[in-house]
């Protein structure tokens, strides 16, 4: 069992997978982190108080999980595919987050503006991040809402 956090504008007692206008790092899903400070940054990123939701995640054998322990070639290729609209068959995907800066580097890589080597040179100084995304109802059923609290700017 692991404690996970979701930072947003409201309490989310019943997480759901929402199809968005833009594809995310690991495609469409419900995204959390095990790093509480990162969830606070997500919740307060618009310069106003936000809400931190706390969940307990109980991993199950019937849930397929893809883990990226660190940024790697496989991680980069997976994010490029997902952000380009290619779905995957995993219930849960976990790994480093492509924050705004890294996202810009990924976009530059996709657009052919920088090479793969240049991408790795640019990201090697970025601080650690974490995300875990839930892509199916079965995966969401492994999350138990524990409560929420207000995060101030």
- Please compute the mean of the pLDDT values over residues 121-135 and round it to a whole number: 84
pLDDT number for residue 103: 77
Q: What is the largest CA-CA distance in the chain?
A: 44
CB 76 within 8 A of CB 106: yes
pLDDT at 107: 85
CA-nearest of 24, 34, 17, 12 to 147 is: 12
Q: What is the pLDDT of residues 39-83, one digit of tens each?
A: 999 899 889 999 999 999 999 999 999 999 988 999 999 998 998
Is the pLDDT at 136 greater than 90? The verdict is yes
Taking residues 89-102, report their average pLDDT.
87
21 pLDDT band (50/70/90 cuts)? Answer: confident
pLDDT digits (tens, 9 = 90+) for 77-94: 999 899 888 999 999 999
Exposure pattern of 26-55 as b/e (b: 16+ CB <10 Å)?
bbbbbbbbebeebbbbbbbeeeeebbbbbb
Mean pLDDT across 98-114? 83
Higher pLDDT, 26 or 3: 3
Q: Could you say which DSSP state residue 131 is in? A: E
- CA pair distance 152, 103, nearest whole angstrom: 26
Confidence of residue 35 (pLDDT cuts 50, 70, 90): very high
- Provide the Cα torsion 68, 59, 2, 43; round to 10°: 70
The pLDDT, as a whole number, for residue 134 is 97
Question: Where do the structural domains in the chain lie, given as residue ranges?
Answer: 2-151
Q: In this prediction, what percent of the chain has a pLDDT beyond 70?
A: 97
Is the pLDDT confidence value at 125 over 80? no
- The pLDDT score that the predictor gives to residue 128 is 72
Angle ∠(98,31,19) on CA atoms, nearest 5: 100
């Amino acid at each position: 069992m692991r404690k996970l956090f979701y930072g947003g504008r409201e309490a989310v007692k019943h997480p759901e997978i929402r199809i968005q206008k833009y594809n995310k790092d690991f495609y469409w899903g419900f995204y959390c982190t095990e790093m509480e400070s990162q969830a606070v940054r997500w919740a307060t990123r618009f310069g106003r108080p936000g809400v931190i939701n706390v969940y307990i995640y109980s991993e199950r054998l019937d849930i397929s999980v893809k883990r990226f322990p660190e940024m790697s070639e496989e991680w980069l290729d997976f994010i490029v595919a997902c952000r380009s609209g290619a779905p995957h068959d995993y219930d849960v995907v976990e790994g480093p987050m492509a924050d705004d800066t890294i996202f810009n580097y990924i976009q530059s890589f996709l657009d052919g503006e920088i090479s793969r080597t240049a991408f790795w040179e640019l990201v090697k100084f970025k601080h650690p991040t974490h995300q875990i995304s839930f892509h199916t109802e079965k995966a969401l059923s492994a999350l138990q809402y524990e409560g929420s609290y207000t995060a101030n700017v």
